[in-house]
Structure 1
């Protein structure tokens, strides 16, 4: 199968490697002037891996779209809409199958990424791909489990069949609301976990995990999803990779914030928490952990006071 990966950062490059590894004809697209693409073109690798010579690198969007039968979109959540608005103008773009491999919400609208996709490219087949795992671990041959979800079961089946691999066991997702919210908001909980690490309060992560799943399950239910989805791979199952791993950008952002160290890599939770607070207002669901992260990261409030306040709230039934 011909596969195009849109986005040549850490995860985009891994997805290109993985698709090539399982036998597909792969093209990897990066925007013109992308430093990531320039590095791959000049050296054949990035900080994490080598890119196979059989993977075609390009900054030509039309060429990338025309190449593909299956399109893996691996750009930042906030940059997805503008990319799709360009892709949809390419002849034949609507006939492809698209897989959104990011975790986040659109800040301006609070919309899930599949909702943004359907606005930009209506009546086009789309799935989301979420779940635990780090590039570094996959490249060492450590397998993991992930979820492919779509509102169309045939699309889910097509994507899983195309991407089946000894490295990844896929599960079929049927609840797009819970799957996408769970994947996005676990990054917010990751920020809080990193802050706890910064204060050497790691023993509080257990309570953070228990309450994080609880509060998010209420929001998912209020939005029409299945609250139990949060206890699966999209959220709780991804906590180790996000709340504990040294590879987690969100955890590291939180820790470095407390330590006063600038963090320059992408931590999606920083953006996502703004959209989450809008959803909290819209659906009248209290989200104490998300509120605490928002108040610290965007409100400039004292991290120690806010974080310890989370664990000293009034007593009530669990």
Structure 2
């Protein structure tokens, strides 16, 4: 099967490596002038992995989309809408399957990424999400993990799971698109909170963060029409080890560096997701104490340690 991966950063290059590894003809796209793409063309490797000769490179979006049956998109969540406005003008897009391999919510609107996709690409286009735990560094060493693929169209889910399932990544069918998308996006938020606890010397509170974080996020999923149990699945709770504890997690490292006053130069998608959750909390009238605390720290510049202590040491109340 012909597969194109749009986006050649850390995760995009891994997706090209993986989908080629499981037997597909793969083309990896990067924007014209992309330093990542030029480096891969010259050396066929980045700081995470080496790409085989069978993977093709292109900076032509039309070539990448036209040549593939399944198109994987791996770019910043906040760039998705503007990017899709370009993709939507290409021919034959309603014949393709698109998989969104990113975790986030649109900051200004709180919309899920499949909602953004449908608005820009049209209801006739086929879209799914590829979500769940795992780091490039671990997969490259052959350490397996479990992930989720889901769509509103069961045939899209079945076809993509069948195409990409392997001993390295065991895929499950995502049955609740709302819950999986919200869960995947908000695990980055909990990752930032975990990093802040690490940076402030309160790492022992990460257990409380896990317990309380899942509870409050299940409420917003239920309010939005999803299954509140999905938060306890692979897209969210299943990703906690890779996000709340791993040294490889950009979101956890961002939170720790923020508390320590260290500049952070990589992408931490959870920051924009905090802004989106603040909006959703107001729209659905759902209290999100942890998300509100992070919003106060990052967007209202409140003192980190005090906000975190006040959050976890609130007046005595029943746990459930």
CA distance in 1, matches of 2:233, 2:93: 33
Residue 47 (structure 2) pairs with residue 37 (structure 1): no
What is aligned with 1:180?
A: 181
Which ranges of structure 1 fall in alignment gaps of 5 or more residues? none
1:124 aligned partner:
125
CA contact (8 A) 1:250 1:269 kept: yes
Note the C-alpha offset of 1:315: 2.1
Q: Show the counterpart of 1:304.
A: 305
1:9 matched to which residue of 2?
Answer: 9
Taking the aligned partners of 1:304 and 1:167, their CA distance within structure 2 comes to 40
- Residue 25 (structure 1) aligned with residue 25 (structure 2): yes
Q: How many residues align?
A: 318
> Residues 156-195 of structure 1: matches in 2 within 5 Å?
156-195=157-196
Partner deviation per Cα, 1:46-79 (whole Å, 9 max, x = no partner)? 1101111111111101111111100001011011
Where does residue 59 of structure 1 map in the other structure? 59
Deviation at 1:42, TM superposition (A): 2.0
Question: Which residue number corresponds to residue 112 of structure 2?
Answer: 112
| SS of residue in 2 equivalent to 1:277 | helix
Superposed CA RMSD in Å reads 0.8
CA distance in 2, matches of 1:299, 1:59: 40
CA distance in 1, matches of 2:268, 2:166: 28
Q: Deviations over 1:19-66 (max 9, x none)?
A: 111110100001111111121112211110111111111110111111
SS of the aligned residue for 2:66 comes to helix
Q: 2: distance between equivalents of 1:30 and 1:175? A: 31
| Equivalent residue number for residue 289 of structure 2 | 288
**Quick one: distance in 2 between partners of 1:229 and 1:46?**
35
Secondary structure at 2:234's aligned position in 1? Answer: coil
| Equivalent residue number for residue 229 of structure 1 | 230
1:75 and 2:38 correspond: no
| Map 1:134-283 → 2, pairs under 5 A | 134-283=135-284
Aligned match of 2:84: 84
Equivalent-residue separation in structure 1 for 2:39 and 2:199 (angstroms) = 33
Separation (CA, whole Å) in 2 of partners of 1:59 and 1:297: 36
TM (norm. structure 1) is 0.99
Taking the aligned partners of 1:315 and 1:286, their CA distance within structure 2 comes to 18
After superposition, the C-alpha distances for 1:87-108 in whole angstroms (9 at most, x for unaligned) are 1111112210000010000112
Q: Does the 8 Å CA contact 1:5/1:71 hold for their aligned counterparts?
A: yes
CA distance in 2 between counterparts of 1:235 and 1:221 reads 15
4+ long deviations beyond 3 Å:
none
SS of the counterpart of 2:11?
helix
2:316 match: secondary structure: coil
Structure 2: distance between partners of 1:102 and 1:248? 14
Q: Would the aligned equivalents of 1:88 and 1:94 in 2 still touch at CA under 8 Å?
A: no
Pair 1:94-2:94 in alignment: yes
Q: Normalization by structure 2: what TM-score? A: 0.98
